[in-house]
Amino acid sequence: MTLEETTGLRIPDSRLAREAAELVRDTEGDLLFHHSVRVYCWGALAGKRTALKFDPELLYVASMFHDIGLTAAHRQSRLRFEVDGANAARDFLRAHGISERDVETVWNAVALHTTPGIPQFMRAEIALLQTGAGMDVAGRGYDQFSDAEREAVVAAFPREPDFQHGIIDAFYEGMKHRPDTTFGTFNDDVLAFKDPAFRRVDMCTVILGSSWTRCAHPGHRHAGPDKE
């Protein structure tokens, strides 16, 4: 049975969706491309299960672009890879005359997909992109999908036998030249796993070593007891 027959899920087939897929397909390898389509599937299935109202086309475009910042085209960038992907999606959508409100939604979805605790309180497409990415990479919410759903999605868009190491490698290759951009997200876990020389930035160390700490009580003048 097909994906649609098993799950009721249809991959968007508008001109916008097809051109987004073609662009990303020509940019990414099989691992990231298939991952991106599965991210859409998990997100859309989660949206359907929870009765969230979302735009399938916008979620699909966001899914297509969410990891494009990891590719060779962005090897010189010093931005977070999520921002590179968000900017690429924004440029693509603007070139197709999409409204700025929808452009902003997709930008936020891509930019925030590795940021925990925020997307679920934003527009449905933003929340569902993170849901889909978390399911495909880390198995978050795995048991909320039926066996039939999981089997149908993976049959349609194969998951490589060693996907876990493959996606870690893809993250590493896309971020190793800009390690500072991993601060504040779990992306620094990837660099720590792959590079023994990598040292995480610790927020407490930053605070205690800041200029405020080095300059004892800057701008403060002790007035002493009041005098009449």
Q: What is the pLDDT of residues 118-147, one digit of tens each?
A: 999 999 999 999 999 999 999 999 999 999
What pLDDT digit, counting tens, does each position of 63-76 carry?
999 999 999 999 99
Please tell me the pTM assigned to this model. 0.91
The CATH architecture assigned to 3-214 reads: Orthogonal Bundle (1.10)
Tokens of 144: 């909320």
Outline where 71-123 has alpha helix (H).
81-95, 100-111
**Closest C-alpha among 54, 196, 67 to residue 133:** 67
* Cα–Cα nearest to 63, from 1, 156, 135, 7: 135
Average pLDDT of the segment spanning 28-56:
98
Q: How far apart are CA 85 and CA 205, in angstroms?
A: 31
Between CA 102 and CA 139 the distance in angstroms is: 28
From the centroid of its chain, how far is CA 143?
Answer: 21
Q: Which of 119, 160, 157, 141 is nearest to 41 (CA)?
A: 157
Average pLDDT, the chain: 94
Q: Strand, helix or coil at 198?
A: coil
Asked which of 172-176, 181-185, 209-213 is least confident by mean pLDDT, the reply is: 209-213
Domain ranges of the chain: 3-214
